[in-house]
């Protein structure tokens, strides 16, 4: 049974990775027609309407009271500010560069998960942090050649990475008291309410853009948000926040390929080198030294009260 659960969880994580990768490309193209705030509102509103309708059909009702602090935090940080910062950042840097910077998120998840969730610290975590942030510095240096706005784009993407990491760490314990559907539906509803002041601008921009660009708003709400966050939440129930973060290693490579094919954009060599350092740092942070003869492999030290790792239904 555990193998079947793990297989389903990995398949769900794979769906999330592909859809989140496509979101970077869609956001980049949508930025030609929509400002960051209206695009965030449109994406969150589409996801909220669809997911709340599904919630009503399934008669799941409201999550437990103890779930609301986590849902509120994710609604503001993940479905709201993360999306807005990424939308703005991708107006200043290409989709591939944005994905490379945002994907330092897993290393922050491992750090926060080890501290707040008592998941333990991988032996090479802090070396990985140093390498990853050296990569962010290289990316910033490479984009500075295009002007200060590109550095601002990198900083906005870095903020998105922090918001993403904090939200995942908050989500893990929240899923004890709410389903993935409840978490995602109400989180997006909170974000939509938060960005409601952008409604007049959204309608104006939708009217000016026409139907084809408007499909970006629909796509982002239905697939990288409604579906991908559901599959992410499902997979997260059966593993740690740090390990789930590691599944996003492939996102930047997929984004660079899709951006090249669909938008004709490829980051410069220095940017790609800095991005490779970011991902190398993430890989180092999640690695463990090989065991030698007569030695045992060091393990992350769990908290005294932590239960043995096993798939659990939350």
Q: What is the pLDDT of residues 147-202, one digit of tens each?
A: 555 788 888 998 998 898 888 888 888 988 999 899 999 999 999 999 999 999 99
Q: What does the pLDDT read at residue 251?
A: 75
In a domain, 308, yes or no: no
Quote the number of domains for the chain.
1
In a domain, 314, yes or no: no
In a domain, 297, yes or no: no
Residues of the chain with pLDDT under 50: 1, 292-314
Q: What does the pLDDT read at residue 78?
A: 92
Pairwise CA distance, residues 237 & 14, whole Å: 15
CB 94 within 8 A of CB 259: yes
How do residues 90-125 score in pLDDT, each as one tens digit? 999 888 788 878 877 666 766 666 666 565 656 666
How many residues are recorded in the chain? Answer: 314
Q: What does the pLDDT read at residue 263?
A: 85
CB 144 within 8 A of CB 151: yes
CB 65 within 8 A of CB 125: no
Q: What does the pLDDT read at residue 232?
A: 79
Q: What does the pLDDT read at residue 44?
A: 97
- What tokens appear for 62 in the block? 């409201």
- Terminal CA-CA length for the chain: 16
Q: What does the pLDDT read at residue 111?
A: 67
Pairwise CA distance, residues 132 & 140, whole Å: 13
Enter the pTM of the model. Answer: 0.77
Pairwise CA distance, residues 191 & 187, whole Å: 6
For tokens 């965030």, what's the residue?
Answer: 40
Q: Which DSSP string corresponds to 56-118? A: HHHT--PPPGGGHHHHHHHHHIIIIIIHHHHHHHTTTS-HHHHHHHHTTHHHHHHHHHHHHS-
CA dist 116 → 173, 238, 276 (Å): 10, 18, 28
For tokens 């629909």, what's the residue?
Answer: 218
CA dist 246 → 26, 69, 154, 249 (Å): 23, 26, 21, 6
Q: What does the pLDDT read at residue 118?
A: 60
Q: Is 179 helix (H, G, I), strand (E, B) or coil?
A: coil
Which phi and psi angles does 164 have, rounded to 5°? -60, -45
Query: Residue 50 CB: number of other CB atoms within 10 A?
Result: 17
In a domain, 172, yes or no: yes
Q: What does the pLDDT read at residue 65?
A: 94
- What tokens appear for 143 in the block? 């984009």
Query: Residue 2 CB: number of other CB atoms within 10 A?
Result: 9
In a domain, 293, yes or no: no
Composition of the chain by helix, strand, coil, percent to 5 = 75, 0, 25
Query: Residue 29 CB: number of other CB atoms within 10 A?
Result: 16
Which phi and psi angles does 303 have, rounded to 5°? -70, 155
In a domain, 121, yes or no: yes
Domain encompassing residue 135: 2-286
In a domain, 306, yes or no: no
Q: What does the pLDDT read at residue 47?
A: 96
In a domain, 292, yes or no: no
Q: What angle do CA 128, 131, 132 make, to 5 degrees?
A: 85
In 3D space, the residue among 46, 304, 307, 286 whose CA is nearest the CA of residue 176 turns out to be 307
Query: Residue 227 CB: number of other CB atoms within 10 A?
Result: 18
């Amino acid at each position: 049974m555990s193998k079947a659960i793990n297989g389903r969880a990995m398949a769900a994580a794979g769906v999330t990775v592909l859809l989140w990768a496509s979101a970077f490309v869609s956001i980049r193209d949508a930025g030609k027609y929509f400002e960051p705030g209206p695009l965030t509102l449109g994406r969150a509103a589409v996801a909220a309407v669809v997911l709340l309708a599904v919630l009503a059909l399934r008669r799941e009702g409201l999550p437990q009271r103890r779930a609301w602090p986590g849902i509120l935090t994710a609604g503001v940080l993940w479905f709201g500010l993360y999306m807005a910062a990424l939308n703005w950042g991708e107006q200043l840097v290409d989709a591939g560069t944005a994905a490379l910077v945002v994907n330092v998120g897993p290393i922050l998840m491992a750090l926060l998960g080890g501290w707040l969730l008592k998941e333990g610290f991988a032996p090479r975590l802090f070396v990985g942090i140093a390498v990853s942030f050296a990569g962010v510095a290289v990316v910033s240096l490479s984009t500075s050649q295009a002007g200060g706005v590109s550095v601002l784009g990198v900083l906005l993407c870095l903020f998105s990475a922090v918001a993403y990491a904090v939200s995942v760490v908050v989500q893990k314990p929240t899923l004890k008291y709410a389903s993935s559907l409840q978490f995602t539906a109400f989180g997006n509803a909170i974000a939509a309410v938060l960005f409601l002041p952008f409604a007049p601008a959204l309608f104006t921009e939708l009217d000016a853009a026409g139907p084809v660009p408007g499909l970006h708003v629909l796509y982002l709400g239905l697939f990288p948000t409604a579906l991908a966050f559901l599959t992410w939440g499902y997979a997260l129930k059966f593993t740690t926040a740090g390990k789930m973060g590691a599944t996003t290693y492939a996102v930047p490579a997929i984004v660079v390929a899709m951006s090249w094919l669909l938008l004709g954009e490829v980051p410069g060599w220095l940017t790609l080198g800095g991005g490779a350092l970011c991902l190398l740092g993430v890989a180092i942070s999640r690695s463990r030294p090989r065991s030698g003869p007569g030695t045992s492999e060091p393990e992350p030290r769990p908290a005294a009260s932590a239960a043995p790792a096993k798939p659990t239904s939350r």
